[in-house]
Amino acid sequence: MSTAASADALAQDFVKFAVDAGVLRFGEFKTKAGRLSPYFFNAGLFDDGTKLGRLAEFYARRLLLSQAEAGLQFDMVFGPAYKGITLAAAVVIELARLGRNVPFAFNRKEAKDHGEGGLLVGAKVAGRVLVIDDVISAGTSVRESITMIQAAGGVPCGVAIALDRQEKASDGVTDAPWSAVQHVEQQLGLPVVAIATLADLLRYLQTAADPALYAHFASVAAYRERYGV
């Protein structure tokens, strides 16, 4: 199987996993931008050992594929508080299991003034640093991570996320012609690696054997038609 075919299969497997785990849900949900979305992805619901372990496996496999296919190189992993902390820890465990042992670090929301002190915890931030988070909504977490990594002497080299919504960024009033992910890639100069995208979700729904799942295809497709990039 080619790398591209493997990546596509990985994305479809991940979408199925997210749906089965109740992390990817369908209905009517209001986004931060004030849009009514027909689907909602809540990575906080990867909330037990089995689900978190499988999520880490998907991240690790996508990263190794991206390394082979696109030449993504990183020396360590950084997890922005709060969700990124658990994700980074889980992903480095899985990467080590697959033979790629890398250090990781994360930040506190508030600097500690005793003990080791400071904002950062874990391995010394150095070399090429990959940021791991669940999604990119406004890019705020990524920008903050870049600032901390650079201040510590590291070089931000990319961002890994679970799902790329592939929709126009918005301040709640106006829509931008680019997505938050595209902003990170084009304005901040960092490649973004996603386990799956909205296009992968649409493909999954369109080919679903379950009529209840297929029933959501039209509304998700219409949403992408209106807000997609």
Q: Which residues are catalytic?
A: 112, 114
- Report strand pairing: 128-132 vs 155-164: parallel
Structure tokens at 56: 């880490």
User: Quick one: three-class SS letters along 6-65?
Assistant: HHHHHHHHHHHHHHHCCCEEEEEEECCCCCEEEEEECHHHCCCHHHHHHHHHHHHHHHHH
16 close to 200: Cβ distance less than 8 angstroms = no
Based on C-alpha coordinates, what's the Rg of the chain? 18
CB atoms under 10 Å from CB of 113, counted, come to 7
DSSP classification of residue 192? E
Distances (CA, A) of 126 to 24, 28, 81, 149, 154: 35, 43, 19, 8, 4
